[in-house]
Amino acid sequence: MSNRWNLPDLGIGVGLRTVHFPHILSARPDVDWFEVLSENFMDTEGRPLHVLEQVVERYPVALHGVSLSIGSTDPLDVEYLKKLKTLATRTRAHWVSDHLCWTGVMGRNVHDLLPMPYSEEALAHTVARVRTVSEILERPLVLENPSSYVEFAQSTMPEWEFLARLAEDADCGLLLDVNNVYVSAFNHGFDANAYIDAIPADRVVQYHLAGHTNMGTHIVDTHSDHALPEVWDLYARSVARTGLVATLYEWDEDIPEFDELLAEARKAAAYRAALAAPRALAAAR
């Protein structure tokens, strides 16, 4: 299966992180693509942008943001969106993603991915905003499912239904973070497999995988360390539905050396190969 926009399967990628800049520029590692944190490069003309320009010359990139605040009741920040569009053009980004969340109201930004109620009113509100953003960016927005620690009594549907309906009604893409599915399933007590099975497969343009920190009473999405086998199982389950889709490993806390990060990301190769093998057999018959 391919996504409905025929956005490419970029392969296996990692996040572009400052600590790895020297290695990336000197060693030119054999990585398929990089995910670029949009806000880190929208407000600087210095070395980070200079490095990014060199990375873009050699590697495909996608942009991933944390401040779009698509679910907020504050007006969309048009200046932010213009800068984001400029960055997307400058980097030839294959897509632009952010999160299903809000990050602040009344002009403030708490710089966290705050959860939304999953109601008809919130759905209509978010659909309208996603459509506006997609028009400004002149491309379909891609939204990631968040990990969350709060649920609202006001919600009238599960998150996976909200996300699926949002994707269809707003015609947006999905970045399916299978670690976030695992984390939220633990925190809220729902079935992670049911979540995976409900996602419209042809709208998934990217995956995230990551580690997390289990506090006992809840799990925190720390993007640290290796992903659990259960998270890889969710990835396998989802890939069987979506087909080969760009996959990114996130590791943002106690970031290891680049080669260790890439080795963790490359575990996805086995799952992708397993998916390709039956098809190769069928083609050979």
Partner 1 sequence: MQAAVVHPGDIEAALQSPRARREVARPDVDAVILPSATLNPAQRVGIYQNMYLLRMEEALGNDYPGLKHFLGDDAFFALVRDYVQVHPSRSYTLNRLGDRLPDYVSVAPDVRRRDFCADLARLERALSQVFDAAETKALSAAAIDQVAPEAWETARLEPIAAFRLLALRYPAGAYLDTLHDEHHRHPPARRQDTYIAVYRRDYSVYRHDLTRGAHDLLADLVAGKPLGRAVAAALKRGGRKRPQPDDLFRWFRQWVAGGMFQAIEL
Q: Which residues bind partner 1 (CB under 8 A)?
A: 39-40, 42-47, 50, 67, 77, 80, 104-112, 114, 149-154, 187-189, 216-218, 220
Q: Which is nearer to partner 1, 22 or 278 (CB)?
A: 22
C-beta closer to partner 1: residue 21 or 249: 21
Structure tokens at 126: 């978010």
Q: Choose between 17 and 188: whose C-beta lies nearer to partner 1.
A: 188
> What residues contact residue 139 under an 8 Å CB cut-off, 6+ apart?
88, 95, 96
Cβ 214 to partner 1, closest distance in Å?
12
Minimum distance, C-beta of residue 166 to partner 1, in the bound complex (Å): 21
170 alpha carbon, distance to own chain's centre: 17
Rounded CA gap, 215 and 176, in Å?
A: 24
| Owner of token pair 């083609």 | 283
**Nearest distance from C-beta of residue 172 to partner 1, angstroms:** 20
The residue (of 104 and 256) whose beta carbon lies closer to partner 1 is: 104
Q: Is 3 helix (H, G, I), strand (E, B) or coil?
A: coil
Please measure the distance between the N-terminal and C-terminal CA atoms of the chain and give it in whole angstroms: 20
Closer Cβ to partner 1, 189 or 229, answer by number = 189
CB burial string 38-47: b at 16+ within 10 A, e below:
bbbbbeeeee
Q: At what angle do helices 268-284 and 229-242 cross, to 10 degrees?
A: 30
CB of 108 to partner 1, least distance (A): 5
* Minimal distance, residue 201 CB to partner 1, in Å: 29
